[in-house]
Structure 1
């Protein structure tokens, strides 16, 4: 995983805000979103604000704005992706699987947009899938902005007031979310397997 402190080492003044904005944008794109730790990065921003290296209101504004804008780009990347999928043969397994996922997101786009930012894999892929599903753009922006604002501001302010303690909490929180996602996926797979009907034996001649 990328060491954010090494990236920020030697960066001072207004350039810090530019780096914060760039890194926040990259959190929502593959592959960078999978190697940049979101929560510890925000906590570090809060710690730097507490030490006086950056302004707390400005760094919150820069990071929150970047976190709102970046998923919009991945949403529209999903629109382009859907056009490409639409040109695939109707019997394509990839096309059928994605169409099924898009149908689910049309019905559950609101919670998906709000909570996607908390888990790296979902943060970089769900906005693309939501865009591919042709989910309402204004609704996506409203729900996504709500989720990313709470997510980023919570850890920045936590880092500002609690420092290294909150940084450890951010790491454990990320691990807990990943574990919860893995358990949920496993539960869904087991439930589907248990509910699968037994094969019907062929009638005896």
Structure 2
């Protein structure tokens, strides 16, 4: 029986979903977190472990469905990257007022240089674990290898937090008083970071507009440079498909 305590607005919402749908609800929540990375999966997974300790479902079921949600969300972003392709994605970035082609290009460079290990290790880095799926799709990384590395990395990450919550068990209420604070701090940080980022971009765009020598790079130019980088790193775990 789950104790009548509050785990913050975000935690309480997840608890209600898991009580209604069981571990499948956790899988859905983790899927959403993967597609919208600012949502803190750490809180979700720890609460899932606590829920498992109270007998709602087993830890194994929670880990299984959390991993299914992680892999499914990653495949959606992989498909988005593969469908858009480099040039189309760069054209979209070029048309957006606050986004630079450099922003997309930087992520691609990182993936190309360090290869498929970024997918495995990236699954255990907040926010980045979702974003790395997009360049993997653009580069058409072997889908089976991408799915395997994503599943293994997600399995490790999910197991750590779910088992941590499970081992805390009935003592999880000791940190419940801080859950709402944590949720609000996360939301506040997301808003602050977003506002700072927008402000800096607006100031940068203003400086560029005043510089008569500044010429923005075209999508084709950026894509050609990344194509050349790909040719320099032919064995980074991608496929020709």
With the shorter chain as reference, the TM-score category is 0.5 to 0.7
**1:62-141 matches, cutoff 5 A:** 62-82=65-85, 84-85=88-89, 94-95=100-101, 98-99=104-105, 101-141=107-147
Q: Using the alignment, how far apart are the partners of 2:18 and 2:131 within structure 1?
A: 33
Aligned length: 164
Alpha carbon RMSD of aligned pairs, Å?
3.3
Q: 1:61 maps to which residue?
A: 64
Q: Using the alignment, how far apart are the partners of 1:127 and 1:138 within structure 2?
A: 13
Does 2:163 correspond to 1:157?
yes
TM-score, normalised to structure 2, is: 0.57
TM-score, normalised to structure 1, is: 0.65
Q: Using the alignment, how far apart are the partners of 2:19 and 2:107 within structure 1?
A: 45
- TM-superposed CA distance for 1:86, in Å, is 6.4
Unmatched segments (≥5 aa) in structure 1: 176-205
> Which string of whole-angstrom CA distances, capped at 9 and with x for unpartnered residues, describes residues 88-137 of structure 1?
8xxxx955664564244134232211122333331231111221122222
Unmatched segments (≥5 aa) in structure 2: 1-7, 93-98, 177-181, 187-241
